[in-house]
Amino acid sequence: MAGKADLSPADREKIFAEMPVGKALYTMAAPTVISQLINLIYNMVDAFYIGRTGDPYKMAATTITITLVMLTVAVANLFGIGGGSLVARLLGMDKKDEAKTVSSFSFYGTIVTAALYALLVALFLRPLLRFLGASEATIGYASAYTIIVIVIGVLPSMLSMVLAHLLRNVGCSKQASLGLSGGGILNIILDPLFMFVLLPEGMEVTGAAIATTLSNVCACLYLLVVYRKAGASSPLSMSLSCAGSIKPENRRSIFSVGIPSAVQLGLLDLANVCANRLAAEHSDLVLAGLGIVMKIERIPNAVNIGICQGMMPIVAYNYAAGNYARMKETMRAARTAGLIISAASVILLLVFAGPFSRVFLDTSSKDAAAALQTVGFAALFLRIRALASPAQFLNYNSSFSMQAMGSGSAPLLLACLRILIMYIPLMFLLDGLFGEIGLSSALPAGEWLSAFCAVYVLRTVMKKKGIKV
């Protein structure tokens, strides 16, 4: 696994500074896209195997826990995006010693934050799950999954994501993606073992949770080894004294980008909470159908986020180095690739909404009528929500680009506009007017309105930084 992936520091910087833009973007983004897809697949495999039980209430329970899992990602972005993008910018300014203190501070900051998050979830577990939409039929399953994956397993999960971000931002995209992908593949293997072999019938949700946590532990251990090895030639460190010597301005820079990034995902999580609660008010079957859709629609999102994550270090490095022409060319190449993939995804999801939805729930089970109704809801929601994909990419591309340039306030403003001003109000308004169809229509409506704003704000930020657009 080492060997070819272990490029010298000079070779890694050549990817950022000299390699043709298309090839550089592919070199950085391809492993990240693959990693995103594999990790998405293992999340979908959880849903797939749970769906084999034919129990829509277990599916609804896992839909509720998605919110807490995504909140884990949001908190990880505090140091993953904040610290990682700063490391790349410091490399572009040839300040490797400062980059080392940033990576170490991000490492220990993640450990402390993960412990606090686990403690808070443990203390407020049942009221939290009730708030997220758990009913008497689903709270038992949701509690079991949350205790294992969040309370017990949040540290390796969160640390894996941050380590991957830091590795990616020093040019180690392959190693970062291999660690996350390896954990995903292991989870695919362990899921059926724990769900249907080792644990008794009825404990499938618990089995999925155990498999996920064990996989995250293995991924974290691998990434820790890679991170420590890369630290011999890159500005990556686990030294506590190094973390303590970080300059105040660099600490502020981490939080000025990391906090808005975390808040952005937190707001998306809030939107999912609102959607889940509105869906649950219709019925647990509507909630389960929405949960299926939220997993399927993450496929194009995973590809587009992978493209943006691969783009980000190149943009950050060249922005700091003053090579604005290369920076803009990278942004354009990423935008073109993402929009093409998004358009193709819309067509596929419109055509195959029914078959894709049936993959996640066995309609031949003892409760076939409920399962069929759930699949019907899922197919309907998927055809509507698929229309949001190109707009979502434009929002991602704009936010990642601004974060790479060290701007946190503009992406935060856009996130508030996107979620608090557009998506959530539209959700309540359209749900009240048109029911389930209105609820699912709020996503494309909100995303397209905010996408136009995102492109405008990105151009404004670049002009203020003296970059010709």
DSSP-derived secondary structure for 370-413: HHHHHHHHHHHHHHHHGGGHHHHHHHHHHHHHHHHTT--HHHHH
- Residues 269, 70 contacting (CB under 8 angstroms): yes
The percent of residues in the chain predicted with pLDDT above 90, rounded, is 36
Distance (Å, whole) CA 290 – CA 382: 8
Cβ atoms of residues 233 and 175 within 8 Å: no
Lowest mean pLDDT, pick from 25-39, 47-61, 153-167, 180-194: 47-61
Stretch 170-184: mean pLDDT, rounded? 82
CA atoms within 13 A on the CB side of 33: 19
pLDDT tier at 199, thresholds 50, 70, 90:
confident
Each residue's pLDDT tens digit, 115-142: 999 999 999 999 988 887 777 878 888 8
Cα–Cα distance between 331 and 401 in angstroms, integer? 7
Distance CA 362, CA 372 (A): 9
- Greater confidence, 366 or 19? 19
The model's confidence at residue 2, banded by pLDDT at 50, 70 and 90, is very low
Rounded CA separation 17/91 (Å): 11
Distance in angstroms (rounded) separating the CA atoms of residues 31 and 33:
6
Q: Which of 84-93, 151-160, 257-266, 367-376 has the lowest mean pLDDT?
A: 367-376
Give the integer Cα–Cα distance in Å for 133 and 117.
20
Query: Higher pLDDT residue, 214 or 235?
Result: 214
Q: Are 384 and 297 in contact (CB under 8 A)?
A: no
Digit-coded pLDDT (tens) for 251-268? 998 888 888 878 887 888
Helices (H), 193-239: 204-230
